[in-house]
């Protein structure tokens, strides 16, 4: 079992080349904040990462070239998403980077800040505004302000602004200063961006102008114009979007698939202000990837579901560990698409439809996955780890992924066709003859068989009559003998085991004689007497044989058990002597 | 006629010919190196990514080289193996500034060395650690270490750092290659 596992690991390693591993690259990010883009238009793709830093500080926009960091820009807030997109038709065709962070989208061109888009402010609760204006004029003290805000929070349709919510959280002594600090500014309510994607404007080309698509905390999706950053389209959702996939062209037809925090997936289309289809998952989504026209979604219950774009569920696969991140592997030049799933057990599983086609073992838990062109290599797999490491792997040119699942099933050999030779004329003739003369052939066979049996029986009887067997057949002296030869030669030890098989009659006056070729062997004593044989006991009798030849030949030694006064031997044994191997000693 | 042939060979009046295969990853500078080795009158200004392969000729003091300049792009690399059989020597160009893809170059080299047309032949291999002018380029020692060149036991090999744009290091490599081919042919 472990052997086959090892083989699997080796096989996995044979598909990928380990191009780079830096365990201390200081990159803390998720798949949504990683992109590969040819930022300089020199044909070499760079890795653009929205680094989360420690979560409170050190947020950076980092660009990697090869194994080293090329540039970094400081970000003001945590990035929630990062995309590279073409925002104009200008030559050279270099993409811009959009980083979603809080309520803003920061757009970078040539790695310089270019534009900041702010989400439109939301409607503010009128009562709340009223209360704060009273506070500004010092008509009410902080305690009554708190009471009134709490009242509004519990009843109102429009939720409170962030400022009021923060105020309600404060301890009594901090309230006064907070009110004094903030009361002059007007109240604003703003939502934040939860996910970001791109949508081609009106052409399907790789480097066509794209719109930004953003999902917000207040359950809406906006499509932004690529140049003016005005809102082109706005769609409401029943819940807050968490993961988003966009396909199509804005001016023609598009489809936005969003996995929401209520555990449902909604599929939106052009010209529909409401979700067109809804997939209700049994647990919350942790990743969403579109492969061709199907949606693959990973859930918290360690499952992977495949659905059509109309929301019909196709398959479910169970995973060995919980999902940390998901990514699409789209190898365009080979036309190969698969889903990469980073698991909590430091493995990356590659699924093609529901079939597991590859497992990559990694040094640490993978938090972000990105497959695409890096540098000049098309099949690069960029992963960052939980510990801030960076792993770059390159797909081998010769790597082939089996269509078949690696999980057990009928072996391939079962469906291999055997190369059965064609029937020859001789074979056909024989078959015809057998069919026509079956009875005669059977009779002939039976006759020969009876003859063979008769011959065998006669030979047996003859052997018994002349006492050529190691079993004595005479009723007066029932004996049994077997012989053992020990040694490699030229000296052999010959042990004869003689047993009286009668019930109660002892055997007496027995002798043993040997017959052998005197040119080949010499025996110390070739004739000796046997003592009285008690019934049932085994008498071993030893003698030594010396082989005289050094030519590597052997012969038969015959052993005769004789009764004194009888000319016929009682029994005979033929001993096939082994070839003497110790000729050097002679 | 035959006698004259031998005589001219002996006097080295007629240059011997050698087929050389030039391989390496895309953008490693194969065509630029070949272009630099050609006589200055035949050189071109623009080097564009090679499609399929190109056949170029240039000569040194005693040999005429026919170089098969193969394309290094992934989809054309499968063409390389068809030319191994007729090659008297191999030039393998490595981009010493591309650290990430050294493993890919190593993989391609391993496949080359294990190919049945190369495996048992004493075919000289010349490595150019090209683009040595780049700031973060690897030294030729480092490149040979990362490529595992020490493991090549049954073939003469040589690595030299080169800069194909200026021609630096190219002559050293070609001189070595010429000596190797002549010692193999005689």
Residue A278 β-bridge partners: A266
Tokens coding A344: 């909590």
Which of A22, A47, A376 would you mutate first to test chain B, the one with the most B CBs within 10 A? A376
Strands A220-224 and A231-236: antiparallel
Inspect the interface and report whether the beta carbons of B103 and A17 lie closer than 8 Å: yes
Inspect the interface and report whether the beta carbons of B26 and A376 lie closer than 8 Å: yes
Lowest average pLDDT, out of A58-67, A557-566, B130-139, B140-149, goes to: A557-566
Q: Is B150 annotated as a binding residue?
A: no
Mean pLDDT of A149-158: 81
Mean per-residue pLDDT over chain B, rounded: 87
Inspect the interface and report whether the beta carbons of A394 and B98 lie closer than 8 Å: no
How confident is the model at residue A582, as a pLDDT?
Answer: 62
Q: Is B24 annotated as a binding residue?
A: yes
| Residue B44 within a domain | yes
| pLDDT greater than 70 at residue B9 | no
| pLDDT greater than 80 at residue B19 | yes
Mean pLDDT of A509-517: 87
Tens digits of per-residue pLDDT, A325-384?
Answer: 999 999 888 888 999 999 999 999 999 888 888 889 999 999 999 999 998 888 899 999
Task: Using CA coordinates, name the residue in chain A closest to B146.
Answer: A19
CATH C-level class of A1-24+281-405 = mainly beta
Q: Is B136 annotated as a binding residue?
A: no
Mean pLDDT of A166-172: 84
Q: How many residues in total does chain B contain?
A: 186
Inspect the interface and report whether the beta carbons of A17 and B75 lie closer than 8 Å: no
C-alpha A344/C-alpha A364 separation (Å) is 9
CATH C-level class of A479-585 = mainly beta
Inspect the interface and report whether the beta carbons of B100 and A66 lie closer than 8 Å: yes
Q: How many domains does chain B have?
A: 1
How confident is the model at residue A385, as a pLDDT?
Answer: 93
Tens digits of per-residue pLDDT, A204-241?
Answer: 888 889 999 999 988 899 999 988 889 999 999 999 99
> Which residue spans within A281-414 are E strands per DSSP?
285-291, 294-299, 303-307, 313-318, 323-331, 336-343, 347-352, 355-361, 366-374, 377-385, 390-395
Mean pLDDT of A261-272: 88
How confident is the model at residue A189, as a pLDDT?
Answer: 83
How confident is the model at residue B60, as a pLDDT?
Answer: 82
CB-CB: which of A67, A374, A397 is closest to B74? A397
Domain of residue B143, CATH code = 3.40.50.300
Tokens coding B53: 């392969």
Inspect the interface and report whether the beta carbons of B104 and A19 lie closer than 8 Å: yes
| pLDDT greater than 70 at residue A403 | no
Which chain B residues are within 8 Å of A333, Cβ to Cβ? 74-75
Lowest average pLDDT, out of A171-185, A400-414, A496-510, goes to: A400-414
How confident is the model at residue A1, as a pLDDT?
Answer: 36
Which chain B residues are within 8 Å of A377, Cβ to Cβ? 100-101, 104
C-alpha A385/C-alpha A367 separation (Å) is 5
The 10 Å Cβ neighbour count of residue A335 is 7
Q: Residue for token digits 């006669």? A: A458
- Provide long-range contacts, Cβ within 8 A and 24+ apart, for A476-485: A477/A502, A477/A507, A477/A510, A477/A563, A477/A570, A478/A502, A479/A507, A479/A510, A479/A533, A479/A561, A479/A570, A479/A571, A481/A559, A481/A561, A481/A571, A481/A573, A482/A573, A483/A559, A483/A573, A483/A575, A485/A545, A485/A575, A485/A577, A485/A578
Strands A34-37 and A46-51: antiparallel
Which chain B residues are within 8 Å of A67, Cβ to Cβ? 99-100
Choice between A581 and A44, residue whose per-residue pLDDT is larger: A44
Distance from CA of B36 to the nearest CA of A (A): 23
Which chain A residues are within 8 Å of B103, Cβ to Cβ? 17-19, 394
Would you state the torsion angle of the CA atoms of residues A98, A101, A103, A104, taken in this order, to the nearest 10 degrees?
-40
| pLDDT greater than 50 at residue A585 | no
C-alpha B54/C-alpha B34 separation (Å) is 10
| pLDDT greater than 70 at residue A475 | no
Residue B66's pLDDT band, with cuts at 50, 70 and 90, is very high
Distance from CA of A581 to the nearest CA of B (A): 43
Strands B16-24 and B89-95: parallel
| pLDDT greater than 70 at residue A4 | no
| Residue B12 within a domain | no
Mean per-residue pLDDT over chain A, rounded: 86
| pLDDT greater than 90 at residue A499 | no
- Provide long-range contacts, Cβ within 8 A and 24+ apart, for A339-342: A339/A289, A339/A291, A339/A296, A339/A304, A340/A369, A340/A371, A340/A381, A341/A287, A341/A298, A341/A304, A342/A366, A342/A367, A342/A368, A342/A369, A342/A383
Residues of the domain holding B29? 18-185
| pLDDT greater than 60 at residue A8 | no
| Residue B5 within a domain | no
Q: Torsions phi, psi of A520, nearest 5? A: -100, -45
How confident is the model at residue B6, as a pLDDT?
Answer: 63
Choice between A173 and A450, residue whose per-residue pLDDT is larger: A450
Helices (H) and strands (E) in chain A, counts: 7, 36
C-alpha B119/C-alpha B125 separation (Å) is 12
DSSP letter, residue B165: T
Which chain A residues are within 8 Å of B108, Cβ to Cβ? 397
Distance from CA of A395 to the nearest CA of B (A): 9
Q: Is B133 annotated as a binding residue?
A: yes
CB-CB: which of B75, B98, B101 is closest to A333? B75
How confident is the model at residue B13, as a pLDDT?
Answer: 53
Which chain B residues are within 8 Å of A392, Cβ to Cβ? 100
| Residue B148 within a domain | yes
Task: Using CA coordinates, name the residue in chain A closest to B97.
Answer: A66
CB distance A106 to A75 below 8 Å: yes
Inspect the interface and report whether the beta carbons of A397 and B27 lie closer than 8 Å: no
Tens digits of per-residue pLDDT, B36-60?
Answer: 888 888 888 888 888 989 999 888 8
Mean pLDDT of A379-400: 91
A-B C-beta contacts closer than 8 Å: 48
| pLDDT greater than 80 at residue A422 | yes
Distance from CA of B62 to the nearest CA of A (A): 38
C-alpha A358/C-alpha A342 separation (Å) is 12
Distance from CA of A66 to the nearest CA of B (A): 6
Q: Is B46 annotated as a binding residue?
A: no
- The sheet carrying A571-576 orders its strands as A527-530, A510-515, A556-563, A571-576
CB-CB: which of A17, A378, A380 is closest to B107? A17
């Amino acid at each position: 079992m472990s052997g086959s596992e090892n083989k699997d690991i080796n096989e996995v390693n044979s598909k990928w080349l380990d191009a780079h591993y830096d365990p201390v690259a200081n990159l803390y990010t998720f798949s949504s904040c990683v992109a590969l883009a040819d930022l300089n238009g020199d044909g070499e793709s760079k890795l653009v990462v929205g680094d989360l830093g420690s979560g409170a500080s050190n947020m950076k926009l980092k660009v990697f070239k090869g194994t080293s960091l090329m540039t970094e820009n400081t970000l003001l807030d945590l990035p929630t998403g990062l995309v590279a997109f073409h925002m104009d038709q200008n030559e050279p065709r270099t993409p811009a980077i959009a980083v979603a962070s809080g309520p803003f989208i920061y757009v970078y061109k040539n790695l310089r800040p270019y534009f900041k888009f702010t989400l439109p402010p939301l409607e503010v609760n009128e009562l709340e505004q009223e209360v704060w204006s009273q506070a500004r004029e010092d008509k009410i003290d902080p305690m009554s302000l708190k009471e009134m805000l709490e009242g509004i929070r519990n009843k109102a349709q429009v939720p409170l602004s962030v400022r009021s919510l923060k105020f309600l959280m404060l301890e009594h002594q901090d309230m006064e200063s907070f009110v004094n600090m903030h009361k002059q500014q007007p109240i604003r309510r703003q939502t934040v961006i939860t996910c970001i994607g791109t949508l081609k404007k009106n052409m399907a080309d790789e480097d066509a102008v794209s719109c930004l698509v953003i999902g917000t905390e207040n359950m809406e999706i906006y499509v932004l114009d690529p140049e003016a950053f005005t809102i082109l389209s706005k769609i409401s959702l029943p819940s807050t979007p968490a993961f988003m996939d966009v396909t199509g062209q804005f001016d023609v037809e598009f489809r936005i698939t969003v996995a929401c925090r209520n555990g449902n997936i909604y599929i939106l289309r052009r010209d529909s202000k409401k979700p067109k289809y809804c997939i209700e998952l049994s647990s919350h989504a942790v990743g969403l990837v579109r492969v061709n026209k199907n949606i693959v979604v990973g859930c918290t219950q360690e499952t992977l579901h495949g659905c059509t774009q109309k929301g019909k569920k196709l398959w479910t696969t169970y995973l060995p560990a919980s999902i940390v991140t998901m990514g699409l592997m789209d190898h365009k030049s080979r036309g190969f698409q698969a889903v990469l799933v980073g698991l909590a057990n430091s493995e990356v599983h590659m699924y093609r439809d529901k079939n597991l086609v590859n497992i990559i073992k990694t040094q640490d838990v993978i938090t972000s996955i990105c497959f695409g062109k890096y540098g000049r290599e098309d099949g690069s797999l960029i992963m960052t780890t939980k510990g801030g490491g960076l792993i770059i792997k390159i797909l081998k040119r010769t790597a082939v992924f089996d269509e078949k699942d690696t999980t057990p099933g009928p072996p391939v050999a079962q469906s291999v066709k055997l190369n059965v030779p064609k029937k020859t004329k001789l074979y056909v003739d024989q078959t015809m003859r057998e069919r026509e003369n079956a009875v005669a052939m059977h009779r002939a066979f039976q006759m020969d068989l009876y003859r063979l049996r008769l011959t065998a029986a006669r030979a047996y009887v003859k052997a018994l009559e002349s006492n050529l067997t190691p079993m004595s057949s005479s009723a007066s002296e029932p004996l049994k003998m077997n012989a053992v030869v020990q040694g490699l030669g030229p000296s052999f030890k010959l042990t004869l085991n003689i047993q009286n098989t009668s019930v109660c009659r002892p055997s007496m006056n027995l002798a043993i004689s040997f017959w052998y070729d005197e040119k080949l062997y010499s025996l110390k004593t070739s004739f000796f007497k046997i003592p009285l044989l008690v019934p049932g006991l085994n008498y071993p009798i030893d003698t030594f044989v010396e082989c005289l030849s050094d030519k590597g030949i052997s012969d038969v030694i015959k052993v005769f058990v004789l009764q004194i006064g009888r000319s016929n031997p009682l029994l005979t044994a033929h001993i096939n002597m082994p070839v003497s191997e110790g000729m050097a000693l002679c | 006629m035959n006698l004259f042939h031998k005589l001219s060979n002996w006097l080295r009046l007629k240059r011997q010919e050698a087929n050389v295969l030039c391989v390496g990853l895309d953008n490693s500078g194969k065509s630029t190196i070949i272009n630099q080795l050609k006589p200055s009158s035949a050189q071109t200004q623009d080097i564009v990514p090679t499609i399929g392969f190109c056949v170029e000729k240039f000569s040194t003091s005693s040999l005429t080289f026919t170089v098969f300049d193969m394309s290094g792009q992934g989809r054309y690399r499968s063409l390389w193996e068809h030319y191994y059989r007729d090659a008297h020597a191999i030039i393998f160009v490595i981009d010493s500034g591309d650290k990430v893809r050294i493993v890919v170059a190593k993989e391609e080299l391993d496949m080359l060395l294990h190919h049945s047309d190369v495996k048992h032949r004493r075919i000289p291999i010349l490595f150019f650690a090209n683009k040595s002018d780049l700031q973060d380029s690897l030294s030729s020692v480092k490149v040979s270490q990362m490529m595992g060149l020490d493991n090549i036991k049954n073939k003469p090999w040589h690595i030299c750092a080169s800069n194909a744009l200026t021609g630096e290091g190219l002559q050293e490599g070609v001189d070595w290659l010429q000596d190797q081919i002549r010692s193999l042919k005689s």
